[in-house]
Amino acid sequence: MSISAYRWSMTAVGEPLVKEEFTASPEAGEVVVEVAGCGVCHTDLGFYYDGVRTNSELPLTLGHEISGRVVLAGAGAEDMMGKAVIVPAVMPCGECDLCKKGKGTICRKQKMPGNDIQGGFGTHIVVPAKGLCEVDEDRLAKAGLELADLSVVADAVTTPYQAVYQAEVTPGSLAIVIGVGGVGGYCVQMAKAFGATVVAIDIDQGKLDALKEEGAAAITFNAKEIGGRDLKKAISAFAKENGLPTTEWFIFECSGSKPGQESAYGLMVHGATLSIVGFTMDKVEVRLSNLMAFHARALGNWGCPPDLYPGTLDLVLDGKVKLKPFVEQKPLDDINQIFDDVHSHKMSRRAIMVPNS
């Protein structure tokens, strides 16, 4: 029971991805998913351009934002046959002590496509059946979306959902999102969906304008034009003018950059919650005592547990979090060019690689 397939593999840092044929065959508890779409994430670029080490040795197919359809099922997973699914970007084992405590994101046996196992930049992928998020295709059609569009839910949407959920954002609160690219743009939408008034900060005016036009951000600031204490004063003034809290801000650092992280830490107020969502190899020097003085807290955010995926998907299918204005489908066989375009900031939307398009 197998399917002939192909995928694009990374052989070395910065070297062109190589197209290779392989045979997709599921073992017990596994399924073969025919990939509808796989999003290009900042993490993929970190592996490819910056030499961030993958847990699996090269050659390795990258890609962890995957949606598709189950076309083969191993023993014990037959009930998944034919179903449209989203593959979680982080798949915990579900059996260890951490998983049983509800801490699947730090499961030591977790599998991440494109890191621990072969990823989704191919026609098919073999993954554990446990934790797959089923998609109601009638609701999908009513929402005006394609299955490929949902690939970004696997990380760009669920990661900020986990961040906002974990931070315990409440209606009437003030949320600040720094870096409104792929993950950050959805974090703006997610914080609003949870009832917060959202401040969006970036250096790309086009991205800020798009979020403002979609009604996700109440106010935007271009970090090229304002920063440091002036930025904090401007946000405080906005909060006072609109009857919003001047303490207990929710700050989400999504840029994955040193300036972004420094700015996020500098915006801390009394009772603030600082969530680190973006990743960078750069080191940042901060005064940790600020956490003590402001009685604030800092949280890390790694992926999203599979049990939170259905709630995230509901927000998308109900139209509370929009995908279409922020994604763009591209042919999988153009992946080397698309990687270069994304890395060179030539694309304003998140690229979704679609096989055989």
pLDDT at 357: 56
Burial class (CB in 10 A: 0-12, 13-18, 19+), 226: middle
pLDDT at 175: 98
Q: Compute the distance between CA of residue 318 and CA of residue 313 in angstroms, rounded to an integer.
A: 8
Cβ–Cβ < 8 Å for 147, 69: yes
Token pair recorded at residue 40: 């290009």
- Residues 87, 121 within the same domain: yes
pLDDT at 144: 96
Burial class (CB in 10 A: 0-12, 13-18, 19+), 159: buried
Q: Which residues, other chains included, contact 9 with Cβ-Cβ below 8 Å and sequence gap of 6+?
A: 17, 18, 19, 20, 58, 59, 60, 61
- Residues 252, 312 within the same domain: no
Q: Compute the distance between CA of residue 281 and CA of residue 64 in angstroms, rounded to an integer.
A: 20
Host domain of residue 208: 158-300
Q: Over the chain (357 residues), what is each successive 10-residue block's mean pLDDT?
A: 95 97 97 98 93 95 98 97 97 95 94 97 97 97 97 96 97 97 93 97 94 91 96 98 98 96 97 95 94 98 94 96 94 98 92 89
- Residues 295, 164 within the same domain: yes
CATH number (domain holding residue 20): 3.90.180.10
In terms of Cα–Cα distance, which of 190, 132, 135, 139 is closest to 166?
Answer: 190
How many alpha carbons lie under 13 Å from residue 122 in its C-beta half-sphere? Answer: 30
- Residues 274, 193 within the same domain: yes
- Residues 291, 322 within the same domain: no
Q: Report the domain count for the chain.
A: 2
Q: At what angle do helices 42-50 and 335-343 cross, to 10 degrees?
A: 90
CATH number (domain holding residue 216): 3.40.50.720
Q: Which helix (H) or strand (E) holds 20?
A: strand 18-24
pLDDT at 356: 80
- Residues 340, 244 within the same domain: no
In terms of Cα–Cα distance, which of 126, 97, 92 is closest to 109?
Answer: 92
Q: What is the pLDDT of residues 103-160, one digit of tens each?
A: 999 999 999 999 999 999 999 999 999 999 999 999 999 999 999 999 999 999 999 9
Q: Which helix (H) or strand (E) holds 209?
A: helix 205-213
The last residue of a domain, from among 258, 282, 300: 300
Strand 219-222 versus strand 197-202 pairing type? parallel
How many alpha carbons lie under 13 Å from residue 70 in its C-beta half-sphere? Answer: 26
Q: Which residues, other chains included, contact 69 with Cβ-Cβ below 8 Å and sequence gap of 6+?
A: 33, 34, 36, 82, 83, 84, 85, 147
Q: What is the DSSP string of 260-276?
A: HHHHHHHT--TT-EEEE
The last residue of a domain, from among 300, 317, 336: 300
How many alpha carbons lie under 13 Å from residue 11 in its C-beta half-sphere? Answer: 9
- Residues 48, 134 within the same domain: yes
- Residues 259, 325 within the same domain: no
Q: Compute the distance between CA of residue 260 and CA of residue 65 in angstroms, rounded to an integer.
A: 24
Total-model pTM: 0.93
Q: Compute the distance between CA of residue 331 and CA of residue 324 in angstroms, rounded to an integer.
A: 17
Token pair recorded at residue 35: 């990939």
- Residues 96, 214 within the same domain: no
Query: How many residues are there in the chain?
Result: 357
Cβ–Cβ < 8 Å for 73, 125: no
- Residues 73, 121 within the same domain: yes
pLDDT at 213: 86
In terms of Cα–Cα distance, which of 242, 259, 157, 256 is closest to 198?
Answer: 242
- Residues 206, 333 within the same domain: no
Q: Where are the beta strands (DSSP E) in 149-216?
A: 174-178, 197-202
Q: What is the pLDDT of residues 206-238, one digit of tens each?
A: 999 999 988 899 999 999 999 999 999 999 999
In terms of Cα–Cα distance, which of 152, 252, 236 is closest to 202?
Answer: 252
pLDDT at 269: 98
pLDDT at 1: 81
Cβ–Cβ < 8 Å for 17, 40: no
- Residues 174, 248 within the same domain: yes
